[in-house]
A = this chain, B = another copy of it.
Amino acid sequence: MTYVLTFHPPTANLKASLMDEVKCIFEPQSVVLIGSSMLREKVGMTSPKLFSDVVYNMKKFYCGKTNIVDVDEKKGSVNLDSLPRIPDLAVIMLPPDDSIVQAEKCARMGAKALIMITGGYKDHQRVRLLRLKEKHGVRILGPNTIMGVINTANGLNTTFERNTMPRKGNIAVVSQSGGVGACLLDWACFYGIGISKFAFVGDKIDVDDVDLLQHLGKDRSTNVICLYMEGVKNGREFINESRKIAEKKPILALKGGITQESAHRAKSHTASIAGSDQVFDAAFKKAGVIRVENIEDLMNGAVALSKQPPMRGDNVAIVSNVGGPAILAGDTVGRNGLKLAALSETARRKIENLYPGVDASNPIDTIADARADRFGEILELVLCDRNVDGVLVINMLKSTFFEPADARVIAKVAKKHPDKPVVDVPAGGEDFALVHKVLVDSSIPLYNLPDKAVKALKVLRDRYRILEKH
């Protein structure tokens, strides 16, 4: 059976249909991986080792069948023509010309989507590839995606990194750069950040940010969308689509290539034209996209958005068992256009009556001997205060009496106030790691330094403002 679709100007129906094909990139019923156990290609990134690594990862796909086609026909490899079923998705990692030959075969057979791993394509090769979409309706991710996609929900992983499956979660990441994507993936795995999908878009000859946004906008396992982009082909479409999605789901973007010199580099990097930075800034604002400055802010903001509600006002309360870090947090609150909440007289009196010695002017000093009980009661009183829109908790272990397990109380109390964001800072290196172990599965975003937590609250505030506009 061959699935044929002649190409004509997209109508609503066709677009919807083509979107079903995009879905196959992440949720195929059957997959074929086509590569070589012999070929080595430097620039484009294929090698026997890489092929075997992708094989290793793709065999873990558990919601359908994975077939492996080794064009050098080693043991265990199947023949593309004798597959029992037409694959929804073909993942192809061969040098460009060989890849195109295989892509043509798959498209003719009726595959709905192609992930083109390898890079190093020349323009005429890109054109040849794109023709397959026109002729067969197949959707193409790449070429030059290098790492392809990950879907934590069904175990699909086309990367060549072993043991880098992030934990399941609701954050989707779309990266134009293999390197930045790999860094985000490594970061997510290392810090236990919950991911729904990862997509490395590469040269974007067909499937682009807009297609992926459309898909992720509808994707029920995705609540937050992170973009790393160096350029965009159709700005207007990107803005329109983002605006629509941003009504329901937050979108964060990190833009690479903002200076003239690195923009030049971006151009040669993924064959995209890096627009002027101001244009992007304006576009992101219009699109309801929250722009961040670096990789860490992107992940930190995404974690905040995935776990906590938008912040309805500017007023931040700081509850801390140490003085200096609370002051630094207060400084950053000001720098980010937020305010230190002026606690109500009632709240202050209640806290100070309950714990003589505690200074209940914001930042609120719980004193270094505070354990779960005191933290919990003070946090509860602060969250009940109408003058407070969000809370930044600092619970260091070093120099205090606080124990990692005490941190559980923060999640418990925060849960009772689902309308106000709470973020936590077990400041430091080991202190962060110890509390992280306790709270990684909770709804509380964790940051290793106060200023990062404030920036995360700022993202939650930005998110509220975007929703207000709609």
Residues of A within 8 A of B (CB): 42-43, 45, 146-147, 159-161, 164, 175-183, 185-191, 228, 230, 254, 256-259, 261-262, 264-266, 268-270, 293-296, 320-335, 340, 357, 359, 361-363, 365, 367-369, 394, 396-400, 427-431, 433, 449-451
Contact = CB atoms under 8 A, between A and B. Distances in A.
A265 B183 contact: no
B396 A261 contact: no
A398 B161 contact: yes
A43 B357 contact: yes
A398 B430 contact: no
Given A369-B45, A399-B161, A430-B189, A262 B331 contact: yes
A289 B94 CA distance: 55
Contacts of A362: 261
B324 A176 contact: yes
13 contacts: A178-B324, A178-B368, A178-B399, A179-B400, A182-B396, A183-B322, A186-B397, A186-B430, A191-B429, A259-B331, A259-B335, A262-B329, A294-B450
Given A189-B430, A191-B429, A257 B327 contact: yes
A431 B186 contact: yes
A261 B340 contact: yes
A114 B433 CA distance: 35
Lowest 9 A-B CB distances belong to which pairs? Answer: A190-B429, A177-B324, A179-B322, A262-B330, A186-B428, A182-B399, A180-B324, A259-B334, A182-B398
Contacts of A325: 177, 179-180, 183, 295
Contacts of A431: 183, 186
A87 to B, nearest CB: 25
A190 B430 contact: yes
Contacts of A180: 322, 324-325, 328
A255 to B, nearest CB: 9
Given A188-B429, A269-B365, 15 more contacts: A43-B367, A147-B399, A177-B324, A178-B322, A179-B324, A182-B396, A183-B322, A183-B449, A190-B428, A257-B331, A262-B334, A265-B327, A265-B361, A269-B324, A295-B451
A437 to B, nearest CB: 14
Nearest to A49: B401
A149 to B, nearest CB: 14
A189 B429 contact: yes
Contacts of A324: 175-181, 183, 228, 230, 256, 269
A284 to B, nearest CB: 15
